[in-house]
Every structure is written in C-alpha cells, then in structure tokens.
Structure 1
Amino acid sequence: MPIHDWTRVPAGIFHHFHHAWIEEISRFLNRGHLPEGYYALAEQLAGRLGPDVLALHAGAAGNGNGKGAPVQGHSPGGVRVAERKPKARFHIQTLTETETYAARAKAVVIRHASDHSVIAMVEIVSPGNKSSQNRIGSFVRKEEETLAAGIHLLIADLFPPTPRDPEGLHRAIWPDREDGFEFNPAKPLTCVSYVSDPLPEAFIEPVGLGDDLPEMPLFLTPEEYVPLPLEITYQAAWNEVPAYWREFVAKPA
C-alpha cells in the first residue's frame, strides 16, 4: 500500500490513524515477534523522559489510599471556565490544535519483564512535532535524551520537511554532515532506526509518497534487533480509518 499524503487531512484524522498504527505495531510485536521477556505497550509520552516512563512498577498507580493522582473534576466554590471565562486582556494558548494532538500521541514502548525498564521505542511523527521551532526543538531534545538514556529508537516521519527541518528529522537529530547521509528531495520522508551505544549508529530508509514502507530493524541491544514490517502494520491501521477519509486521502489531489 503506498504512503498517503497526510498533509491533506485535519490533524484529528491523522491522530486517529496514528493511534491505530501504534496499536497495530504493539499487537504485531506482542504476537510472538519479540524474544522471551520483552513486551510492547502503547504509552503516552508527553514532554521529557522521566522516572515514571523509564521504570514501570506494579502498584505504581493510585490504589485507593489517597496517594494516587488528584481527582479531576469540579471543586466546590470553583467556577467552570465553560460557564464564565476568566477576564484578561490577553489569553495565550501555548498549543495549537495540531500541537495538542501531537502532545497526546502515543509511542510503542518496549520493556523487559525482568525490571520493566524501557529498552526501545517506536515513534510516529505527528505534524505538531514540527509545527514551530519550539515544538521541533522539544521533539529533537526528547529523542536525544532517549538515546542518551540507553534506549534504542525507531522513528517514522511521513510528513515533508519544513523550514525547521529542511533535510528531514534525521539531520535535525543527527547533525553530523560527515555521516554519509544525503537528503534526497525525491524521497523526503524518513524511516530511521537508531542504536543507542557509546558509538551510536543509524539505519536510514528515505521514502516518498506512493512508496511502500520498508521493514526496519528495531534494536533491543546494540547487537540484536527484531524486524518490524511497517508496511503491514500501516495497512492494518489504514483499514481502521473511516471510509470517507480513506477515499479523501486516496483520491488524486
């Protein structure tokens, strides 16, 4: 199935597809395609990596003893924003709709059952990840922190370069121009697998609209990987998109 032009749809439609694709990748990996002891979860990763992401422990969530997360709801004496907006000369929203969907996006997180620590991650880029210098800077820093933490990384970016990443996200994450990678404007989209190691490595597959997605290595250690077929998981996620939007995206522009 050819890669579609997702710039043609509203951010919410791609977010729906993004969610479905992440789930399909998780299902594929958990159906016998990971070595014993490894498992995949679809997890929301908002902001920088923290201890709650890097370590997952049984019983970490609130257990009814009052020590869990605060309850979100209406407090007595509070004023609902929907009923009466706060008065101020300026109201600044830090995220656009596109960026809000990017902040809500999930990733596939590979953990090991011995201590449930994060081993690897699969991320699918959302348009909001590249919508401003601040957003792309935050995304790049998170990927750098991921690799620095010893976590292997696979990224699929199906959105064309912007003025903020004119040669694609790989060059933004890995700015070393002596690495042999040459950006090809005819194949401006990127699938890249990074090996976290004192001497890191990158395996890059440039792709373009209409191409089939490649099989990519998902590294579990610097010496071991599992093949991840992006094409069949993409196709399964595509089937979960409402028929109207499938027809809209698939028809010629």
Structure 2
Amino acid sequence: MPIHDWTRVYAGLFHDFHQSWSIFIKNAMNAGLLPKGLTALVEQKVSTKETDVLTVDQLADGEADRGSGGTLLTMTAPATRIVRKSSKEFYSDLANRIVVKHQLGRTVAIVEIVSPGNKDSKRAFREFVEKSVAFIRAGVHVLVVDLFPPTKRDPFGVHRAIWDEFEDEDVLFEFPPGKDRTLASYDAGREKAAYVEPIALGEALPDMPLFLFEGHYIKVPLEAAYQTAWSFLPRELQVIVETGVMPAGAENSAGQ
C-alpha cells in the first residue's frame, strides 16, 4: 500500500490512525517477533531518566534469552540505503510510542511515530530530538518513523537533527531526489549506529530494524501493520485521506 499524504488532513485524524497503527505494530511484535523475556507495550510517556534502563551489558549477561523464540537477527547489518556510525561516544504529549521492555520492567527499545505536533514549533521539535538523543545515550535503541515532509524546523529531516548530536560528519545527510520521508533505526550500543531509509509518498513501507541488543535486531513489519490499521479506518475517513477534501463544515469541527 502506498504511503498516504497525511499533511492534507487535520492532525486529529492522523492522531487516531497513529494510535491504531501503534497497536498493530505492538501486536505483531508480541506475536512471535520478540525473543523470550521481552514484551512490547504502548505507552504515552517513557522517562529517559528511569534508573532501571536495561543496558547492553546487562542483556549480555543473560537477562533476556536471545536464542529462545522470536526472529532475532544477528550481526548482519540491516540493508538500508544509508548507514552511519559514530565512535566519538563509544564508551507530542498525547502521542503513544511503542516500548519494548524486559520482563523486569526495564526499557530496551522504543518505536517513535512522528506526529505533526512534533514539528509544530521549535520547542516541540527540540524536545523530540533531545528526547530521542537522551534515549540513545542511555542505551535505549530507537526506531523513528516520520511520514511527514521536512519543515523549517527540520529542513534536512529529523534524522539529521538527531545524528548531528553524535557525529559532526564531513558529508551531511541529504534526502535523495523525491524521497523526503524518513525511517531511521538507531543502535544504542557502545558504537552508536544509524540505519536510515528515505522513502517517498506512494511507496510501500519497508520492514525496519529495531535493535534489542548491540548488533542484534528484529524487523518491524511497518507496512503490514499500516495496512491493517488502514483497513479499520472508516471508508469516509479513507476518502478524506486519499483526496485531501474535507466534508462541508468538517474543517470547523475537526479540532485543528
């Protein structure tokens, strides 16, 4: 299914789809993708300051069974268009995020689906970037899904804003022609790594890696979950998304 242009509809409609999509991603992860001992939850807020963040070293000591259940992939690097690594650090309030937690309650990884509100102001965008960076620095792996085009807050996309906090690269990230939406997965191990897939409207979403341990990841079925969430959207709302045309009078009651 091609990616829809969600910029043409009011933010509340994407928020509803966002919530549904998050649930189906979570369900897919819990239906056999995650190894034993890890669970995906949908949560509204996750603190980067929680004292029980599960580190890579703790996981390596066997607190989660990497060889039992799930489809955990090993050291083969994910196949994305762009890969960045950094050794310099070797050693929107209503929106839900998907959180992968160890059975002891410690956060291992999160999936962030960008909402319009995350780019609506300098403050909101800065908070999103700082939050993502803080998670990665705390050893929490992050997958960012951004179906919205760059704004004046992020003219080069959300990935570049995040990655600039880790690496001052000579060759800066730029979107390939015609591909201005971003999928970016961050391995928060000792050597930070970013796996980036720029995408375009009309393209199907690829499965993206979500790291659970340094160098080890599962593939998140973004497209399958998107299709399922779309199938539950009432047809009249599907038409609004597909055409960008609101019913008469709906603009005034949409809560824009």
TM normalised by structure 2 equals 0.76
Distance in 1 (alpha carbons) for counterparts of 2:145 and 2:52: 21
Aligned residues: 205
| Alignment correspondent of 1:108 | 98
CA distance in 1, matches of 2:51, 2:21: 24
Higher relative contact order (CA 8 A, sep 6+): 2
| C-alpha contact (below 8 Å) 2:45/2:96 kept by paired residues | yes
Q: Structure 1 residues 26, 179: CA separation in 2 closer, same or farther (over 3 Å shift)?
A: farther
Secondary structure (helix, strand or coil) at the match of 1:31 reads helix
The structural deviation recorded for 1:180 is: 6.3
> Which among 112, 122, 125 is matched to residue 123 of structure 1?
112
Q: Describe how 1:85-164 pairs up with structure 2 within 5 A.
A: 102-113=92-103, 115-164=104-153
Letter in 1 for 2:48: L
- 1:21 aligns with 21
Among candidates 185, 188, 197, match of residue 196 of structure 1: 188
SS in 2 for 1:162: coil
What is the rounded CA distance, in whole Å, between the counterparts of 2:151 and 2:218 in structure 1? 31
Amino acid corresponding to residue 145 of structure 1 in structure 2: A
Distance 1:239 1:168, change over 3 A: same
Structure 2 stretches lacking a partner, 5+ long: 55-91, 246-256
Q: What TM-score, normalized to structure 1? A: 0.76
| CA–CA separation in structure 2 for the residues paired with 1:53 and 1:187 | 38
Q: Counterpart in 1 of 2:87?
A: none
Q: Is the 8 A contact 2:9 2:244 kept in 1?
A: no
Residue 45 of structure 1 and its aligned partner are, at CA, apart by 1.4
In the TM superposition, residue 137 of structure 1 has moved relative to its aligned partner by: 0.4
Percent same amino acid among aligned pairs? 45
Aligned 8 A contact 1:16 1:241 in 2: no
* 8 A Cα contact 1:44 1:107, kept in partner: yes
Q: Deviations over 1:104-160 (max 9, x none)?
A: 0110000111x2200000010000001111110000000010001100000100000
Q: How far apart, in 1, do the equivalents of 2:130 and 2:226 lie?
A: 27
RMSD in angstroms over aligned alpha carbons? Answer: 1.9
Gaps of 5+ in 1: 56-101
Contact 1:140 1:173 in 2 (8 A): yes
2:88 paired residue number: none
Alignment of 1:210-225 (within 5 A): 210-225=202-217
Answer yes or no: is 1:51 the counterpart of 2:17: no
How far did residue 177 of structure 1 move? 3.3
Distance in structure 2 (CA, Å) of the matches to 1:128 and 1:201: 27
Paired amino acid for 2:151 = T
Counterpart-to-counterpart distance in 1, 2:236 and 2:52? 37
Q: Per-residue deviation at 1:183?
A: 2.0
